[in-house]
Amino acid sequence: MGVVLNNAIWKAVEQYGVIGSRFILQLFLARLLAPEDFGAIAICSIFISLVDVFIQNGIAVALVQQKHVDEKKYNSVYYFSLLLATVIYVLIFVFSGMLADFFNIPILENLLRIILICIFPNSYSSILYSILRRNLQFKKVFISTITSTIIAGTIAIILAINEFGVWTLVIEVLINSVLTAITLGVIVKWYPKLQFSLKSLREVLDFGWKVFLTNIVDELFFEIRTILIGKFYSPATLSFYSRGKQFPNLVIRSINGSLMAVLLPVFSRNNENKPLLRNLTRQSIVLSSTLIFPILTLLAISAPTIIEVLLTDKWLPCVPFLQLMCIYYSSWIITTTNIQLLYGFGNSKKVLQLQTIRKIVDLIIIVFTIRISIDALVWGEVIISIIYIPVYLHYSGKNIDYKVLSQIKDIAPVLIFCTIEAITVKFLCLIELPLIISLLFQILGAVTVYLLLMYIFKYEGLCLLVNKMKKV
C-alpha cells in the first residue's frame, strides 16, 4: 500500500497542477465574460471528453493491464490510435456545421474544427503515458504535465487579458497537448518505428474494446445532460450547470482519479492474492472517503460564499447545481474503486454489462425529467448514482469476499463526522462577516471539527493516512 500511496501522491500532484491551472484560467475568464459566453465552451468540452475516451482510455488502459508488452505492441497500438484519431477528426470536421445548428451556437463550428487538432499529439502522448503508468512512474508524468501546463497557461492568461475570449481556451488546449507530447517524448525516449502486427493489436483490443465501450457509454451518458440542457434550455442555464459540476469535479478527479490510476496496475499484478486485494481495496476506500467526503461537504454548504468570492454574484444561480453535484460525485469514491478491482481481475465484460444496464435506467429517468425542469433532471442524476452503489459493491466484493455491509460500515464514521461538519459550517454561514473572512471562518471551522472528531474517536482513516504519509 506504501507504493500505491506514494505514486498516488505524485499522480495527485500532477492532476492538481493540470486541472488546477485550467480551473484558475476558467475563474479568470468567468469574471471577464457573461455566463452566456460559456455555452460554446461547455459543448466543446463534451467532444474533447468523448475523443479522449477513443484515444486515451480503452486502448491505453489495455496496455497498462497487459502483463507483457513489447516494442511491436506499442507501435501497433500507436498507429491504430493515429488512424482512429484521423477518422474521428474528419467526421467531426464534416458535421461541425450541423452541430453548430443543433445547439444554435454559430461559433461552435470553427471552435470544434480547431480545438480537436489536439487529438493527434494526444495519440502519441497516450502511448508514452501508458509506458510510465505501467511502471508507476508518475513523478515523470508530473514533470511533463506541469511544464506544459505552466507554459500553456501563461500564454492563455496573456490572451485572455487581450480579449481573445473563448479562443483563449482553444489555444491553451492545443499548446498544452503539443508540449505534453514533446516533453513526454524527451523523458520516455520512445519514438514510433515502422512496425505493425495485427496479432499484437488483437491481444490489446481483446481487453481494450470492452474498456472502450464501457468508457464511451459512461462518458456519453455523463455528458448527455449537458447536451440536452444545451438543446432545450438557454446557454446561460447550460453555463450554470457546467460551472456547478466544475468545482466538485476538480476535487474528485484530482484526489480519487489519481488513486484510481495507481490501483489498476497494482490490482492487475496481484489478482491471484485475494487477501491482499481485499486489504488494498478496503484501505483505498477508507483513505479516499476520509479525504474527499469532508471536502465535498464543505464545498456544498459553503457554495454561496465560494461562488460569490471567486466568480462574483452573477454566477450564484450555479449554487444549487454545485450542491447536488457534490452528492453525485461522492458516489464515485466507492464505485470507481470497485470498478478498478473488476478491471484488475480482467472482468471488463462485467463492468460493461453493469454500466450498460445503469445507463438504460439513467436514460429512462432523463426522458421523464428533461421536460419537467432542469432541477428534476439533475436530481435524477444524483438519485441513480446513489441507488447503483450497492450493485457495484456486490459484484466486485464477491471476488475478494468484501461484502456490501462491510464496505458501508468502513465509511460510516466519515459520514457521521461530515454531518457534524456540515452543521458547524451552516451555523458559521449565518454569522454576518465580510465575504472573504466568512469563507475563511467556514473553512477553518470545517477542518477543525472534522480533524478533532477523527482524533477523538481514533478513526482508522486518520491513522492510516498519517502512517502512510510517514513512509512516503
In this prediction, residue 69 has a pLDDT band, given cuts at 50, 70 and 90, of confident
The whole-number pLDDT of residue 426 equals 93
Chain mean pLDDT for the chain: 81
Mean pLDDT confidence for 59-70? 69
d(CA 162, CA 180) in angstroms, rounded, equals 25
Amino acid 88 reads I
Question: Counting every residue, how long is the chain?
Answer: 472
In this predicted structure, what is the pLDDT of residue 425?
93
pTM, rounded to two decimals: 0.72
Q: Is 360 exposed, middle or buried (0-12, 13-18, 19+ CB in 10 A)?
A: exposed
Closest by CA to 434, choosing from 298, 343, 322, 305, is: 305
Residue pair 264/61 in contact (Cβ under 8 Å)? The answer is yes
What digits encode the pLDDT tens for the residues 314-344?
899 999 999 999 999 888 877 877 777 776 6
Residue 421: band (very low, low, confident or very high) from pLDDT cuts 50, 70, 90: very high
- The amino acid that residue 353 corresponds to is Q
The string of DSSP letters for 106-172 reads TTHHHHHHHHGGGHHHHHHHHHHHHHHHHTT-HHHHHHHHHHHHHHHHHHHHHHHHTT-TTHHHHHH
Average pLDDT over residues 33-41: 73
Alpha-carbon span 323 to 300, nearest angstrom: 5
Number of neighbouring beta carbons within 10 Å of residue 16: 19
Tens digit of each residue's pLDDT (9 = 90 or more) over 422-455: 999 999 988 888 999 999 999 999 999 999 998 8
- Quick one: cell of 442? 467556514
In sequence order, the 6+-apart residues with CB closer than 8 A to the CB of 157 are 25, 28
Q: Which is more confidently placed, 162 or 210?
A: 162
